[in-house]
Chain A
Amino acid sequence: MRCRSCRGPAIIDVRRHNAAFCATCFTKHCRDQVSRTIDSYRMIDTGQKVLVAVSGGKDSVALWDILLDLGYDVDGLYIGLGIGDYSDESGRYARDYARSRGATLVEVALPSDYGFDIPTGSRAAKRAPCSACGLSKRHLFNKAALDGGYDVVATGHNLDDEAAVLFGNVLRWDLAYLGRQSPVLPGGEGFARKVKPLVRVGERETAAYCVIKGIDYIVDECPMAAGNRHIGYKEALNAIEAVSPGTKSAFLFGFLERVAPLVAATAEEEREGLHPCPECGSPTVSDVCAFCKLAARAGGAA
C-alpha cells in the first residue's frame, strides 16, 4: 500500500477512510482530525487553560501529545485508583510521558486522598468496578479542574468509545443518557466544561499514533474491566466494521447531527433538578452525590 498523501510506503491502513499513510503523514492526519474536531465543536478558545485526564493508556497520552503539539496550554491529571499493580504501572507511564515533554502532571490518589480504592469501593457500594471507577473519575476530574482554575477538561474518549456508548444507550433506549451524549459538555454551576477531541479518531489509530511516535503506554487492559459490557459492544461494532468500513463513524456522527438535537431536552430537564451536594458541593440530583455515597460506604471521606 502507498501513503494517500505522499505516495511513499504506507505503514497503517485506515479502512473507513479507504486510505493508508506513512508514519509522517499519519501523525499529521491525526493532528488534523483533532484540530478539525476542536474547531468544528468550538471546544477550546484561544488562551484557555486545558486539563487533560491521563490514565497512562494510549488514548489519553496520544491526546495530550497532540494538544501539546497543537500549541495548547495543557496540563495532565492522573488519578490513582488503587487497582494494585495496574495503577502503579499506569501511573509510571503517565509520569514518564509528562517528564519526556517537560509537562505538568497533577496527581490525585483515591487511597491516600480519600481513604478508599476502587476494589474496596465497588464491593462496599455493591457497584460494578467500572461504575465505581467512572463516577469517581468524573467527580475528581471536575473537582481538579475547578480547584485548579482550568477552563476545559479534555478526555481521551475516541470514536470507538463514543460509538460503543451510543450503541449501549440505543439498545436500552436510555433517553437521559442519549440526551447527554455529546463531544462537548458545557460548563455551568459546579461543572467544568468537558470536551472529547478524539471523537474522530479510532482507537486503532490512537494506538498506532503512540507506536509511531515512540510513546510508551500501558497496553494491558485494566484487570477489573475484563469481559465488561462496554468491551462487548466494541467487539460487536468491530465485527460490523470489518465487513462494512465506516459504519461506526456513520452511526456516531449520524446520531450527533440528526438525532442528538431531538433528545437534548431530556438532559436539560435533568440539569434543572441539580443542587449542590451538602457534603462536597458538587452538583447532584440526589440528597448526597454519588461520589460521597461511595466514599462513605467504602469507609473513606470525600
Chain B
Amino acid sequence: MAGPLRVAALLEHLDVNRESVLVIVDGTLVTGDATIAEGSTVEVRPVISGGAL
C-alpha cells in the first residue's frame, strides 16, 4: 500500500479489529493514530491465543 497512512486507517482497510493485533512499524510498536511513512516495513501481529486453559 502507498504511504503515508495512519495505522487506524490501515487496520480498517484490512478489516482487522485493533483489539486483536499489535502494529509494529520498522521494528517499533505504534499507536492507532501513528502515521506510517512510505517505504516502512509493517507487521500486523495477531495477539489472540486460544486452546487449552
Contact = CB atoms under 8 A, between A and B. Distances in A.
A239 B17 contact: yes
Given A11-B28, A13-B31, A239-B17, A204 B51 contact: no
Contacts of A239: 17
Interface of A: 1, 10-13, 15, 20, 23, 57-59, 130-131, 133-134, 137, 157, 160-161, 165, 203-204, 206-208, 211-212, 219, 221-222, 224-225, 228, 230-231, 234-235, 238-239, 241-242
A225 B48 CA distance: 11
Contacts of B3: none
Nearest to B30: A11
Contacts of B22: 12, 204, 207-208, 211
B51 A11 contact: no
B13 interface: no
A165 B52 CA distance: 11
Interface in B34-52: 45-52
A133 B52 contact: yes
Contacts of A160: 48
Interface of B: 17-22, 24, 28-33, 45-53
8 contacts: A1-B33, A13-B32, A23-B29, A133-B52, A203-B47, A203-B48, A228-B51, A242-B17
Contacts, number: 89
B31 A10 contact: yes
A247 B53 CA distance: 22
A137 B30 CA distance: 35
Nearest to A240: B19
Contact of B49 (A13, A20, A59, A137): A59
A133 B17 contact: no
Contact of B51 (A1, A58, A207, A224): A224
B31 A134 contact: no
B17 A130 contact: no
A211 B29 contact: yes
Top 6 nearest A-B pairs (CB, nearest first) are A225-B51, A134-B52, A231-B50, A133-B52, A238-B19, A207-B47
A15 B28 CA distance: 19
A80 to B, nearest CB: 14
A11 B53 CA distance: 30
A238 B20 contact: yes
A238 B50 contact: no
